[in-house]
Amino acid sequence: MRLHDDALLKHFSYINGSWHSSNTQLPVTNPASGEVIARVHNADVEQTELAVKSAKAAFADWSKTSANERAALMQKWYALMMQHQDDLAQILTAEQGKPLGEARGEIAYGAAFIQWFAEEAKRVYGDTIPAPSGDKRILVIKQPVGVVAAITPWNFPNAMISRKAAAALAAGCTFVVRPATQTPLSALAMAELAERAGIPAGVFNVVVGDDARGMGKVLTQHPDVAKFTFTGSTQVGRQLISQCAEGIKKVSMELGGNAPFIVFDDADIDAAVQGALDSKYRNAGQTCVCTNRIFVQNKVLEAFTEKFVKAVKALKVGDGMSEGTQIGPMISSQAAEQVQDLVIQSVAQGAKVVAGGTTPQRNFYQPTVLTQVRNDMPIACNEIFGPVSPIIAFENEADVLAMANDTEYGLAAYFYARDIGRIWRVAEGLEFGMVGINEGLISNAAAPFGGVKQSGNGREGSRYGLDDYLEIKYLCLGGINL
Ligand code: NAP
């Protein structure tokens, strides 16, 4: 890493506007090289409680600032993130592994939520409702929920935080996040820039520590936490929801996915190939909206597969810092081995490897394509979270909709078709929170991101994204006719 601004590389948790040390440290490792790039002080349960209490104290003033004041500070934060985009991207690639170009893209994507919600803060409108009797007036106002606690994953170390924090701060809430242990540096760099932007002490706090369970208990159960928001696996999300149940916390969850990508016989095949590459291989297949199963109609199966396999074989695997790398390392060697296990199990059940599929080299897994896959094979039933495309043939629309929906997940889905009747039928029939139609890249700050079924609840981004951080209060004004 060669940063223009070394002060962005922080090693301490950020609580109540100051940097907190502890007795032990956590190594942060570059997944491409295995090299330790930093040691971050390991915050504990008490420091997590301190962060929650600080956020509670800061809420008193922050919730009373005007939307304009909050927006102005957030715009400064956004501008600083964009000004330091290159440094932030280097930090991100060093700790997470994705190619530098993708990391730059994530910084812009993450910062865009801060800009979007800075603007949206000014549009938290209330309502007036005609009352059932003449001497009353009914009004609805919206108020910030209070302290928001968050736990985020390693796959988007910047954007998974900004998507939550931007909406929370815009609504007038204060915020405590525990980032994934593997990728704390991006979160701490965001805290440094929040401070430079003038965001008051206690409004945005970052606690880094390896006691996931202990810190998670504080963030889900502390009486001062009003709302808990999580991005991560469905398995951990389920457990955290149950922890929130005791205190009846408001909860939103962005969990796992198993995205179908359907190519109909009227699709533009070249566009579908590009869409499949975009939605599958970004971040080495480690995104929640990654294509997990490619369904291709029999008539175009050969044409699609031939072009797709050729494109996948041309993808360049390497260190994310190296020029031209398209597929970086996976987050760990265990993650690469888990993907390889799914491939081996599915091949044993009749799937055929037509690209990649070789034994992982440490954290690196070759982009892989499997054909002759069935929807009940391990590679299709599980969230792969790696660079493998299983191709499943289908005959008609009804069959493919049934197969696509045959999963506990409901995050993203994609399909390529040109017939307008088919487009409406399939878009409405897919049981997923987001559907890309002739498009493989669907995430942006203006759009509501989120899932149905066991992919979670709540939405991030868009004007709907503020709702999760606001309470509706009904005011009944009586005595008008006295
Ligand atoms: P994960 O294992 O669920 O971990 C996510 C976060 O939860 C990490 O910060 C982790 O901490 C923490 N955690 C784990 N166990 C915990 C516990 N018992 N109590 C409190 N916190 C706990 O998920 P992951 O492997 O990092 O991320 C991949 C998953 O995230 C995939 O399923 C993916 O689909 C999902 N995801 C969803 C979205 C979305 O928007 N829907 C976006 C991105 C990713 P440690 O780092 O210390 O383990």
> Could you state, in order of their start, the residue ranges of all structural domains in the chain?
6-256+454-474, 259-406+412-445
Average pLDDT, integer, range 463-471: 97
CA of 158 to the centre of ligand 1 (A): 14
Rg over alpha carbons for the chain, rounded to the nearest Å, is 23
Question: Dihedral sign, CA of 68, 72, 77, 78?
Answer: positive
Ligand 1 atom at minimum distance from 181 CA: 46
Is the pLDDT at 482 greater than 90? The verdict is no
* 254 flagged as catalytic: yes
CA of 109 to the centre of ligand 1 (A): 20
b/e sequence 359-392, b meaning 16+ C-beta within 10 Å: ebeebbbbbbbbbbbbbebbbbbbbbbbbbbbbb
* Ligand 1 and 335: CB distance under 6 A: no
Question: How many angstroms from the chain centroid is the CA of residue 147?
Answer: 21
Q: How confident is the model at residue 481 (pLDDT cuts 50, 70, 90)?
A: confident
CA of 24 to the centre of ligand 1 (A): 23
**By alpha-carbon position, which residue is closest to atom 43 of ligand 1?**
288
User: Whole-number mean pLDDT of the chain?
Assistant: 98
* Ligand 1 and 154: CB distance under 6 A: yes
**By alpha-carbon position, which residue is closest to atom 46 of ligand 1?**
180
The token pair at 96 is 């997470």
Q: What per-residue confidence (pLDDT) applies to 16?
A: 98
* Ligand 1 and 383: CB distance under 6 A: yes
Is the pLDDT at 351 greater than 70? The verdict is yes
Is the pLDDT at 50 greater than 90? The verdict is yes
Query: 6-256+454-474: which CATH topology?
Result: Aldehyde Dehydrogenase; Chain A, domain 1 (3.40.605)
Ligand 1 atom at minimum distance from 232 CA: 30
CA of 151 to the centre of ligand 1 (A): 8
CA of 233 to the centre of ligand 1 (A): 5
**Cβ-based neighbour number of residue 289 at 10 Å:** 24
Is the pLDDT at 37 greater than 90? The verdict is yes
* Ligand 1 and 232: CB distance under 6 A: yes
* Ligand 1 and 96: CB distance under 6 A: no
In 3D space, the residue among 274, 367, 283 whose CA is nearest the CA of residue 328 turns out to be: 283
Cα–Cα distance measured from residue 472 to residue 318, given in angstroms and rounded to the nearest whole number? 50
* Ligand 1 and 87: CB distance under 6 A: no
* Ligand 1 and 236: CB distance under 6 A: yes
* Ligand 1 and 380: CB distance under 6 A: no
* 288 flagged as catalytic: yes
pLDDT in tens, 134-145: 999 999 999 999
Average pLDDT, integer, range 172-200: 98
* Ligand 1 and 209: CB distance under 6 A: no
Ligand 1 atom at minimum distance from 182 CA: 46
CA of 327 to the centre of ligand 1 (A): 22
* Ligand 1 and 155: CB distance under 6 A: yes
CA of 410 to the centre of ligand 1 (A): 17
Q: What per-residue confidence (pLDDT) applies to 1?
A: 86
| Residue 126 dihedral angles phi and psi, to the nearest 5° | -95, -155
Domain 259-406+412-445 has CATH 1.10.3720.10: no
CB-CB contact of 296 with 391 (8 Å): yes
Q: How confident is the model at residue 206 (pLDDT cuts 50, 70, 90)?
A: very high
pLDDT in tens, 213-252: 999 999 999 999 999 999 999 999 999 999 999 999 999 9
CA of 254 to the centre of ligand 1 (A): 10
The token pair at 408 is 């506990």
**Half-sphere CA count of 466, side-chain side, radius 13 A:** 23
* Ligand 1 and 256: CB distance under 6 A: yes
**By alpha-carbon position, which residue is closest to atom 19 of ligand 1?**
213
Q: Is the pTM of this model over 0.95?
A: yes
One of 95, 254, 383, 460 is an active-site residue; which one?
254
CB-CB contact of 257 with 455 (8 Å): yes
pLDDT in tens, 98-135: 999 999 999 999 999 999 999 999 999 999 999 999 99
Query: In testing the pocket of ligand 1, which one of 151, 182, 238, 455 has its CB within 8 Å of the most ligand atoms?
Result: 151
Ligand 1 atom at minimum distance from 254 CA: 41
Average pLDDT, integer, range 449-467: 97
Q: What per-residue confidence (pLDDT) applies to 99?
A: 98
pLDDT in tens, 259-316: 999 999 999 999 999 999 999 999 999 999 999 999 999 999 999 999 999 999 999 9
